[in-house]
Structure 1
Amino acid sequence: MKLPTDPAQNLAALIRCPSVTPAEGGALQTLEDMLKPLGFAVERPIFSEDGTPNIENLYARRSGNGPHLMFAGHTDVVPVGDEAAWTHPPFAAEIANGEMYGRGAVDMKGGIACFIAAVARHIENNGGPKGSVSLLITGDEEGPAINGTVKLLDWAAAKGEKWDASIVGEPTNPDALGDMIKIGRRGSLSGSVIVNGRQGHAAYPQLADNPVRGLMSLVDALLHPVFDRGTKDFQPTNLEVTSIDVGNPATNVIPAKATATFNIRFNDTWDAETVQAEIHNRLDQAAGRKKY
C-alpha cells in the first residue's frame, strides 16, 4: 500500500471534503484512511453540549518507547461565502501557477497534510519513530469551539495520554514557509453590549429615547484608550466591533434597542478574568444611567 508521503496529494484529498463547520464532511474519515496504514490507532470521539451541535473529533497515536510528540489541528473550515466570487471552486483543490486553491488550504488542512507526509516519509525512509507520535484533530475550531480542543484534551488525558511537546499547525508565516515560529496565540473573547431606549418617530425625538446615542458612547469607551502597546512576544491587544444592529428597517423610526457585538484579542498582559474586568470597568464609567 502506498503511504501518504506526498503533502500535495494529502492536501487535495482534504480540501475535497466540504467540512464547513460544524460538518465533518468526510475529512476525519480521510485522515483515518491515511493514518491507519502508518500504524496509528485512531479514535473519533463525539462531544456535545446543550445549544451546540454534536462534533466529531479525532485522536490518533503511533506508540513508541521515547518521548511523545503531539500535532494539534482542526479540519473544519469557515463558510465559502459567495462561491461565484471564487477564482477556483472552493472544494476542487485545483492547482494554478504552482499553488493549490481551496477552502482550508491554509487554515489549516495544509498543516495537517504536511505533518502526515512528514511522518509517512520518516517511516518509509527510517522505519518508525523511536518515540510516540499523535494527532489531536478537532472539528470545532471555526465554530463555537466548545466541543473541540478542550474536551478532546480532557478526554485524552483521562485515558492516560501525556505529551512531551506539541506542534500546532496554524498558519503563522507572513512571507515564506518557516520564516516564523510562534510560541502561542493571543486569547479571544467575544461579547455584546445592549442599550435599551424608547421607540418613537424621528419627527418627535422628545417623546422617545434613542439608544443609538448611548451605544455610540459605550463603543467609543471600548475602543479608547488602547489596551496596551504589545509585549515581547505578542502584538498589542485589539478590540474590534463586529456588528451594530437596531433591528429597524425603517429610516424614520427611533429604535427601542441597539446592540453592538465585539471581539477582543488579548496578549499576555491580560488573562480572561482581567480583560473582562477592564471591559466592564470601561462600560461602567461610560454608561451613566444607561442599561447594557
Structure 2
Amino acid sequence: MSLPTDPAANLAALIRCPSVTPAEGGALTALSGMLAPLGFSVERPVFIEDGTPDVENLYARLSGNGPHLMFAGHTDVVPPGDEQAWTHPPFAAEIANGEMYGRGAVDMKGGIACFVAALARHVAARGAPKGSVSLLITGDEEGPSINGTSKLLEWAAAKGETWDASIVGEPTNPERLGDAIKIGRRGSISGTIVVRGVQGHVAYPHLADNPVRGLVSLVEALLHPVFDKGTADFQPTNLEVTTIDVGNPATNVIPGKATATFNIRFNDSWTAETIQAEVHNRLDRAARKSKLRPGKTEPVDYELVWRGRASPVFLTSNDKLIRTLSGSVEAVTGRYPALSTSGGTSDARFIKDYCPVVEFGLVGKTMHMVDERVPLDDLEMLTRIYERFLADWFA
C-alpha cells in the first residue's frame, strides 16, 4: 500500500468530500484511509448535545517511545455560497495556473493534507518518529464548536492520553508562507443588550417611551473610552457592535424594545470575569444618566445577556516548540516568522489547557471566499516545513 506523500493528492481527496458543517461528508473516511498505511489506530467518536447537531470526530494515534506530538485541525468547512459564482466547482479540487481550487483548500484541509504528507515522508525516509504522533480532527470548528475539539480532548484525556505539544494547522500566514506563527489569541466574549420602553404612536410621544434613546446611550458607553492601549504581547481590546434591531417595520410606531449585540476581543489585561464586570459597570453608569424621554426620572431599563461561552486569552511560551517550529520555517522559506497573537479564535483555545500549542498553516487570504484556493508550491513548502519540524522536534 503506497504512502500518502503527495500533499496535492491528499488535499484533492479531502476537498472532494462536501463536509459542510456539521456533515462528515466523507472527509474523515478519506483521512482514515490516508493514515492506515502509516500504522495509525483510528477512532471516530460522535458527540451529541441537546439543541446542537451531532458531530463525528477523529482521533488517530501512531504510538512510540518518546514525547507525544498532537496535530489538531478540522475537516468541516463553511458553505460555498453561490456555486455559480465560483470559477471552478467548490468540491472538484480542480487545478488552474498552479493553484488548487476548492472549499477548505486553505481553511483547513490543506494543512491536514500537508501534515499527513510530511509524516508519510518522515516514515519513508527515517522510519516511525521517536515518539508518538496523534491527529485530533473535528467536524465542528466552523459550527458552534460544542461537539468537537473540546469534547474530543476530554474523551481522549479520559482514556489516559497526554500530550507534550500541539500544532494547529490553521492558515496563519497573512501574505506569504513563513510570515507568522500564532503563539496565542485574544479572548472573545459576546453579549446582547435589551432595552425596554413603551410602544406608542409617534405623534403622541408623551404616551410612549422610545427604547432607542436609551440603547444609543448604552452603546456609546461601551464604545468610549477605549478599554486599554494593548500590552506587550497583544493588540488593544476592541468592542464591535454587530447588530442593532427594534423589530419594527412601521414608520409611525415607537417600538417597545430595542436590542444591540456586540463582541469583545480582549487581551491579557482582562479575564472573562473582569471584562464582564467592566461592561456591567459602564452600562449601569450610562443607564442612570440616560432617560428614555425628556422629563422622565427613571433610569433606562435594560438587561444584559451574555451569549455562548467566553473564550479565554492565552499565550504559549514553550521554548522548544516555538524555537523548533520557527527554525523549520526559516530553514525552508528563508524567513524567520513573526510570533503573532492577532486574529480571531481557534480550537487552540481548548488545547492550551492540555499542552503547549501554536498554530501554523497556509496563507489565509482566500479562506471563506468564493474561489478559495492554494498554490501547489505552497502545499509542497508547508509539507517540507512540517517534515523538518517532525525530524527536529523528535530529535
Q: For this structure pair, what is the TM-score category when the shorter chain's length is used for normalisation? A: over 0.9
Change (3 A) 1:258 1:92: farther
Deviation at 1:225, TM superposition (A): 1.8
Q: Which residue of 2 aligns with 1:291?
A: 302
Deviation at 1:131, TM superposition (A): 0.8
Q: Which residue of 2 aligns with 1:41?
A: 41
Change (3 A) 1:219 1:121: same
Distance 1:241 1:83 in 2: 31
1:222 paired to 2:233: no
Name the amino acid aligned to 1:38: L
Matches within 5 A, 1:153-164: 153-164=153-164
Deviation at 1:82, TM superposition (A): 3.3
Deviation at 1:287, TM superposition (A): 2.1
Change (3 A) 1:222 1:78: farther
1:18 paired to 2:29: no
Deviation at 1:2, TM superposition (A): 2.1
Preserved CA contact (<8 Å) 2:75 2:137: yes
Preserved CA contact (<8 Å) 2:4 2:117: yes
The number of aligned residues is: 292
**After the TM superposition, which of the residue ranges 274-283 and 157-166 deviates more from structure 2?**
274-283
SS of 1:22's equivalent?
Answer: coil
Deviation at 1:211, TM superposition (A): 1.5
Q: Which residue of 2 aligns with 1:205?
A: 205
Distance 1:249 1:75 in 2: 41
Distance 1:190 1:41 in 2: 39
Deviation at 1:87, TM superposition (A): 3.3
* CA RMSD in angstroms, aligned pairs only: 1.7
SS of 1:215's equivalent?
Answer: helix
Name the amino acid aligned to 1:216: V
Matches within 5 A, 1:1-292: 1-288=1-288, 289=299, 290-292=301-303
Name the amino acid aligned to 1:234: F
SS of 2:162's equivalent?
Answer: coil
Name the amino acid aligned to 2:172: T
Preserved CA contact (<8 Å) 2:193 2:302: no
SS of 2:227's equivalent?
Answer: coil
After TM superposition, which residue ranges in structure 1, 4 or more long, deviate above 6 angstroms? none
Q: Spell out, residue by residue over 1:196-229, the C-alpha distance to the aligned partner (whole angstroms, 9 max, x if none).
A: 1222222332222221222222222222222222
Relative to the length of structure 2, the TM-score reads: 0.70
Distance 2:37 2:264 in 1: 43
Q: Spell out, residue by residue over 1:60-107, the C-alpha distance to the aligned partner (whole angstroms, 9 max, x if none).
A: 100010111001111222223333433333222222322222222222
Deviation at 1:135, TM superposition (A): 0.6
Q: Spell out, residue by residue over 1:102-137, the C-alpha distance to the aligned partner (whole angstroms, 9 max, x if none).
A: 222222111111111111111122211111000111
SS of 1:106's equivalent?
Answer: coil
Q: Which runs of 5+ in 2 are unaligned?
A: 289-298, 304-395
Name the amino acid aligned to 1:127: G
Distance 2:203 2:102 in 1: 51
SS of 1:133's equivalent?
Answer: strand
SS of 1:248's equivalent?
Answer: coil
Change (3 A) 1:146 1:126: same
SS of 2:302's equivalent?
Answer: coil
Deviation at 1:164, TM superposition (A): 0.8
Q: Which residue of 1 aligns with 2:361?
A: none
Percent of residue pairs identical: 82
**After the TM superposition, which of the residue ranges 18-27 and 84-93 deviates more from structure 2?**
84-93
Distance 1:206 1:266 in 2: 41
Deviation at 1:249, TM superposition (A): 2.1
SS of 1:115's equivalent?
Answer: helix
**After the TM superposition, which of the residue ranges 156-165 and 123-132 deviates more from structure 2?**
123-132
SS of 2:239's equivalent?
Answer: strand
Distance 1:213 1:79 in 2: 38
Change (3 A) 1:233 1:122: same
Deviation at 1:166, TM superposition (A): 0.6
Name the amino acid aligned to 1:224: H
Distance 1:185 1:3 in 2: 35
Q: Which residue of 1 aligns with 2:393?
A: none
Distance 2:146 2:91 in 1: 26
Q: Spell out, residue by residue over 1:20-64, the C-alpha distance to the aligned partner (whole angstroms, 9 max, x if none).
A: 222222221111111112111111111122221111111110001
Distance 1:24 1:239 in 2: 34
Change (3 A) 1:281 1:156: same
**After the TM superposition, which of the residue ranges 226-235 and 119-128 deviates more from structure 2?**
226-235
